[in-house]
Amino acid sequence: MKQTEPSNMGALLKNLPRRVVRALCFSGRGLKGAFVKEEAFRLEVLGLGLLAAILAAAAWPLWKKAALLAVYLLIPLAELFNSALEDICDLVSPDHHPLVAQAKDKGSAAVLVAIWVNLLTLLALCLAD
């Protein structure tokens, strides 16, 4: 990203709505691509919907519901990074390479850690009372 001179701040603010819309479009393309290509991402989105429905009916305080939803979002976030890493690895090295396999395994491990964080958070929230 280019540095903006203070004298160009007016131009930056003038272009801000267009830049925000473009950024949202790029993000939307990324989410759509992950949803179409990645079964794990689709399952995680389904899980988010189920979790939201369960929490809507639960008699928990709002802060617990918000905490669990926020922490759950780490799973699809990690999955998006993992999918992006796998796409880059496949582009750079279509043939099997030990370093590519290692990178993909680390991306998968990040998703697993996000799941562990969710389980620990759920346990802590259940035991908090």
Q: Which residues are catalytic?
A: 79
- Integer distance in angstroms from the first to the last C-alpha of the chain? 47
- DSSP, residue by residue, 36-77: HH-HHHHHHHHHHHHHHHHHHHS---HHHHHHHHHHHTHHHH
Burial of 47 (0-12, 13-18, 19+ CB in 10 A): middle
The answer for residues whose C-beta is within 8 angstroms of residue 105's C-beta and 6 or more apart is: none
Three-point CA angle 129, 53, 80, nearest 5° = 95
